[in-house]
Amino acid sequence: MPANTRELRNRIRSVDSTLHLTKAMELVASSKIRKATAKMHAGREYADAVTDVINVLSGCQECQVSPYMRKGSADRIRLIVIAGDRGMAGGYNVNVFREAQKYPGAEIYAIGRKASARYGQEIRGTEHYSYEDAAELAVRFCEDYRNGLYDRLGILYTQYISMMTQEAKIRWIFPLAAPEQAPAQQVIFEPDAAKVLEETVPLYLTGILIASVRESYASEVSARSSAMNSAGRNAQKMKDDLTLAYNRARQGAITQELTEIVAGAGEG
Amino acid sequence: MAEYQLNIATPDGEFYSGPCEELIVRGTQGDLAVLAGHIPFMTALVPCAFRLWTPDGNERGGRLEGGLLTVGSRKDENQTVTVLTTHAEWQDGEKDGNE
């Protein structure tokens, strides 16, 4: 058999194994989507509830002097970057890192294996990120902020818009901004609003952090599922093209052989 | 006894959502009980044991990992009391309150 067909056969085999791989990864990712989105919704609800409380508090007169609401220079940025645990998710990780590059001077805290590896930090996964991890980090970051170690805190995560669309964006946490209109409700704070605010901010950061990690994770598995789906389609198309070329080459070789035999018989 | 709607929310979802007659938790200023008709109120909670009594006469206990207690307006038909906490668990080891 000519070298050409052998080469084609090898390529078909290699594309075929890629096809198996993408199919398997797509199945794994899509089996995780349901659980990941359920967790994301739970986290979102909690984050919304605690954000409402923060809005009430930061609208209070006596909270305006809180260290969490200080305004001033904003050049020392701290960024919590949440990326994936694995690659093969289309542009998911790349989009996050591209967004992070817009803040070259920022001090980065990475969550997600890919992010940890990129910024040379201790490995922290996103799939099983626990409330203990988040609470510990939140308390530390709040203390640092009160002590003036940095001026702004943002969480870079990937917003889950739909199965097909996810967008890397930054949610700014500190300084807290007062809502545009002061809340109308009359609430009694114990012991006072400033103290309650101080106690609530770590809770707020914990909630937002967990919600962001969960949302990023849901985005990651969705991105991987659709990336693997289209990779699988491409692989299938390539395999079809190669198979066609292979059959043509094989047929061509047979025709040529036959022609040679017929020609040989004619001579004899 | 009058009742109100109690929601205990955690980042992992709703821990408890249902009617309640009395809730006892520990705030930064000490233990406090919430009955129906409580004045609108907000305070931070420290990690503590909590107890609640449901209208069907059950008493349940558990632990909260600190958090925030909000008592909603009592003018509403259904007064709502919300506890936001990073983590909560029942004393008897059940994870879910809606069994």
Cβ neighbors of A89 (< 8 A, separation 6 or more) are A220, A223, A224, A227
Average pLDDT over residues B80-99: 75
DSSP, res B60? E
A203, B41: Cβ pair inside 8 Å? no
Considering CB atoms only, which of A188, A189, A203 is closest to B67?
Answer: A203
pLDDT at residue A211 above 90? yes
CA dihedral sign of residues A55, A59, A63, A67: positive
Residues 6+ apart with CB under 8 A from A231: A18, A22
Give the residue from A116, A200, A84, A186 showing the smallest Cα distance to B83: A200
Whether A126 is in a domain gets the answer yes
Is residue A93 a part of any domain in this protein? yes
**Residue A59 domain-assigned (yes or no):** yes
Tell me how many domains chain B contains.
1
Nearest CA in chain B to A42: B13
Report how far apart, in Å, the C-alpha atoms of A8 and of each of A67, A85, A231, A241 are: 68, 36, 20, 10
Calculate how close chain B gets to A173, using CA atoms only, in Å.
Answer: 18
Instruction: Give yes or no for a contact between A213 and B67, defined as CB atoms under 8 angstroms apart.
Output: no
Residue B86: which domain range? 4-90
In a domain, B95, yes or no: no
* B62 within domain boundaries: yes
Q: Please, which residues have CB within 8 angstroms of residue A144's CB and are 6 or more apart in sequence?
A: A78, A150
Mean pLDDT rounded to a whole number for chain B: 86
Domain presence at residue A29: no
Mutate to test the interface with B, among A60, A139, A142, A188 (most CBs of B within 10 A): A188
Residue B98 banded pLDDT, cuts 50, 70, 90? very low
Q: For B38, which residue in chain A has the nearest alpha carbon?
A: A188
User: Could you read off the pLDDT of A140-191 as tens digits, one per residue?
Assistant: 999 999 888 898 999 999 999 998 899 999 999 988 887 776 666 678 888 8
What was the pLDDT predicted at A183? 60
pLDDT for position A2: 60
Tell me the shortest Cα–Cα distance from A193 to chain B, in angstroms.
Answer: 9
pLDDT for residue A182 = 62
Cα A125 from chain centroid?
12
Q: What is the mean pLDDT of residues B23-38?
A: 92
CA distances from B63 to A212, B2, B67 (A): 25, 25, 11
Any domain includes A18? no
Q: Is B33 inside any structural domain?
A: yes
Residues A89-107 have pLDDT tens digits of: 888 999 999 999 999 888 9
Query: Which two tokens mark B1?
Result: 């006894």
Looking at the partner chain, which of B41, B66, B87 has a beta carbon nearest the beta carbon of A190?
B41
> Is B99 a member of any domain?
no
Task: Domain count for chain A, please give it.
Answer: 1
Residue A185 within a domain: yes
Query: In this predicted complex, what is the ipTM?
Result: 0.83
Give domain status of residue A258, yes or no.
no
Q: In chain A, which among 26-55 make CB contacts under 8 A with chain B?
A: 39, 42-43, 45-47, 49-50, 53
Domain range for A205: 43-224
Residue B64 lies in a domain: yes
Residue A131 domain flag: yes
The CATH number for A51's domain is: 3.40.1380.10
Establish if A184 touches chain B: CB-CB under 8 angstroms: no
- Look at A190 and B68 and tell me if their CB atoms are within 8 Å: no
**For A13-38, how does the pLDDT look when each residue is reduced to its tens digit (9 = 90+)?**
999 999 999 999 999 999 999 999 99
CA A58/CA A180 separation, integer angstroms: 10
Reading the block at residue B8, the tokens are: 């205990």
Grouping H, G, I as helix, E, B as strand and the rest as coil, residue A204 is helix
**Chain B stretch 32-91, residues whose beta carbon is closer than 8 A to a beta carbon of chain A:** 39-44, 65-68, 70, 73, 82, 84-87
pLDDT tens track for A33-92: 999 999 999 999 999 999 988 888 888 888 888 888 887 677 789 999 999 998 888 889
Please give the Cα distance from A112 to A52 (Å, whole number): 28
